[in-house]
A and B are shown apart, each in its own frame.
Chain A
Amino acid sequence: MTHTPLVIELTILVLAIFLGFEVISKVPTMLHTPLMSGTNFIHGIVIVGAIVVLGFADDGVTKTIGFVAMVLATANVVGGWFVTDRMLEMFKRRPEPKKGDGK
């Protein structure tokens, strides 16, 4: 992978903090649970790290560690995304046509 100077990386980090606070503070309370599971999904990005470790592993120890990391990260990504999608699907503006609960 490329080598980015530390100062540049720190700059990116700090900007990301501000961006994060800015964007997250616009999320309404109502959607805080989907926000948590959505960000849960996003930290699954650590899968990139797991792929790099496992993909470049050449001894048994690294392969084992990378394999476990890969399993955990994939579960994080896949589970996080589907659970968020399931939740967001439920947020609707109007109730569905009522089924037999009238008179």
Chain B
Amino acid sequence: MISDPDVLGLLYLVSIVCFVLALRFLSSPKHARRGNWLGGVGMIVAIATTLAVDGISNWALIVVAAAIGSVVGLVGARKVKMTAMPQMVALFNGVGGGAAALVALAEFHEHDGVLAWDEGLSISLSALIGSISFAGSLVAFAKLQELVSGRPIVFAGQNVVNVVVLGGAAALGVAIVAGLEAQWAIVAVILLALVFGVMFVLPIGGADMPVVISLLNAFTGLAASATGFVLDSTVLIVAGMLVGASGTLLTLLMAKAMNRSIANVLFGAFGQVQAGAGQARVDDGRTVRATSADDVAVQLSFARKVVVVPGYGMAVAQAQHDVRQLADVLEEKGVEVKYAIHPVAGRMPGHMNVLLAEANVPYTQLFEMDEINPEFPQTDVALVIGANDVTNPAARSDPGSPIYGMPILDVDKAASTVVMKRSMNPGFAGIDNDLYLDPKTTMLFGDAKESVLKLITAVKSA
């Protein structure tokens, strides 16, 4: 058993180094996996060191709890489909945040509320942020899993209620810092924060979930970091803050990719605006042109360059494997195939890349928006599969559109565009897409998977 603080500190330093390297290795897919293994080593060192601290007991409880947690985590990680990754991440965010809040609660209880101001502050912060993250993540999970509607849920005076709830929790936190020793105070902080967590995610629309998950990720990191101050643990402070920085950065990136401020995402109740914006549409006599799989197959077979624009619709139809097969068949015919990935394609940052990687699409064929946009004018066919809002030219031209200013993939600049879509229903954001009325655009209606399979057969015989 280790009682020398220097030895403990050094061992924790080893895990800190492992965590930083794990993130550093993520800079390239070549050694990213090795990085994760290093992170695992760091975690094992941290856990083993903590278990070796002098005076740790309750071994039976520790082992049983660890066994339950491991089984749950392992089964979840093994079973989850790649399309459901955002829910999974939300869930793990939640449990991490919950654990941080519980550690804070236990520390308050252990000290009977008698705390120095800085201990009170870190305990309050850890309880507050951890609980918000826990409740918020569970709501985000429910929304992504479609247990509750993905549409924003709003009621009158919502923001006022939110401010009162959060204000109440914060005021109690301040009271704890000032020396309030009552147990109910910390319990109330947690309960109010839980209510706030629910209230804060409920009004956010499904399309904005990438921002919300990133933000909750940052929250859990911050909660863990605050816990580090409670327990005087540098490894918690640093590791938590690394996560906090990562979540914050991703939140900013996502908001930027949608050209909206964070405040607008969180409090704007997106999807509510479209009712007003839609009215401005003038019926100018342009119509949607439907096409057949055979026609598209000919178009594709005789193209020099095809850019595939995958969206969440493709993932829902589980068509990513067939899309790769279609690309393979086209490449055999000498057609150059590239994939254009919009930063908010899918339901979380980088989600589409994972889905395509799962289908064995080499990552060297995937291009980010800024790389691929200049190539659309030289593209013969842009094949849009289950993507909608990220291709809507209204984002460039119509100041009245709710997505105005959002950077989009310039598929309308390609020589021709084929949109594969289930129906004419508007996308997740609930906005009509002008692209479908473009004379260069044809629509291939139907289930993405079936359509792609038909295309493969047709291309092979073309």
Structural contact, B22 and A42, CB atoms closer than 8 A: yes
Structural contact, A75 and B72, CB atoms closer than 8 A: yes
Structural contact, B366 and A30, CB atoms closer than 8 A: yes
**Chain B residue contacts of A3, Cβ below 8 A:** 232
**Chain B residue contacts of A40, Cβ below 8 A:** 89, 92-93, 96, 217, 220, 243
Q: Shortest beta-carbon distance, A71 to chain B, in Å? A: 4
- Chain B interface size, as a band, is 35 or more
Structural contact, A48 and B236, CB atoms closer than 8 A: yes
Structural contact, B20 and A101, CB atoms closer than 8 A: no
**Chain B residue contacts of A53, Cβ below 8 A:** 102-103, 106-107, 110
- The answer, among A25, A38, A55, A72, for a CB contact under 8 Å with B95, is A72
List residues 1-36 of chain A with CB under 8 A from any CB of chain B.
Answer: 1-4, 6, 9, 12-13, 16-17, 19-21, 23-36
- Distance of A66 Cα from B9 Cα, bound (Å): 23
In the assembled complex, B29 has its CB within 8 A of some CB on chain A = yes
Q: Shortest beta-carbon distance, B276 to chain A, in Å? A: 33
Interface of chain B, main secondary structure? helix
- For the complex, count residues of A whose C-beta is within 8 A of B: 87
The interface-forming segment of B61-69, B308-316, B396-404, B421-429 is B61-69
**Chain B residue contacts of A63, Cβ below 8 A:** 58, 61
- Distance of A89 Cα from B363 Cα, bound (Å): 12
Q: Tell me the nearest residue of chain A to B353, going by C-beta.
A: A30
Q: Shortest beta-carbon distance, B15 to chain A, in Å? A: 8
The interface-forming segment of B36-44, B149-157, B158-166 is B36-44
**Chain B residue contacts of A36, Cβ below 8 A:** 89, 213-214, 217, 246-247, 250, 348-350
**Chain A residue contacts of B27, Cβ below 8 A:** 26-28
- The answer, among A9, A21, A38, A68, for a CB contact under 8 Å with B39, is A38
- Distance of A73 Cα from B47 Cα, bound (Å): 11
Given A52-B50, A74-B65, decide whether A46 and B96 contact each other with a Cβ distance below 8 A: yes
Given A13-B241, A83-B80, decide whether A27 and B23 contact each other with a Cβ distance below 8 A: yes
Q: Shortest beta-carbon distance, B31 to chain A, in Å? A: 10
Structural contact, A42 and B235, CB atoms closer than 8 A: no
- The answer, among B76, B109, B240, B250, for a CB contact under 8 Å with A45, is B240
Given A28-B27, A42-B22, decide whether A69 and B238 contact each other with a Cβ distance below 8 A: no
- Distance of A56 Cα from B235 Cα, bound (Å): 19
Q: Shortest beta-carbon distance, B101 to chain A, in Å? A: 8
- Distance of A103 Cα from B330 Cα, bound (Å): 12
**Chain B residue contacts of A54, Cβ below 8 A:** 58, 61-62, 65
B residues adjacent to A (C-beta < 8 A): 5, 8-9, 15, 19-20, 22-24, 26-30, 32-33, 35-37, 39-40, 43, 46-47, 50-51, 53, 55-58, 61-62, 64-66, 68-70, 72-74, 76-78, 80, 82, 85, 88-89, 92-93, 95-96, 98-100, 102-103, 105-107, 109-110, 118, 213-214, 217, 220-221, 223-225, 227-247, 249-250, 253, 324-325, 328-329, 332, 341, 343, 348-351, 353-354, 357-358, 360-364, 366, 368, 460
A residues adjacent to B (C-beta < 8 A): 1-4, 6, 9, 12-13, 16-17, 19-21, 23-57, 61-63, 65-96, 98, 101-103
Known: A57-B58, A85-B36; 13 extra A-B contacts, CB below 8 A, are A23-B242, A27-B26, A28-B27, A37-B89, A42-B43, A46-B96, A46-B100, A50-B102, A50-B103, A55-B62, A70-B69, A74-B70, A88-B36
7 sample A-B contacts, Cβ–Cβ < 8 Å, listed by A number: A20-B244, A30-B363, A34-B354, A44-B92, A45-B46, A45-B236, A82-B73
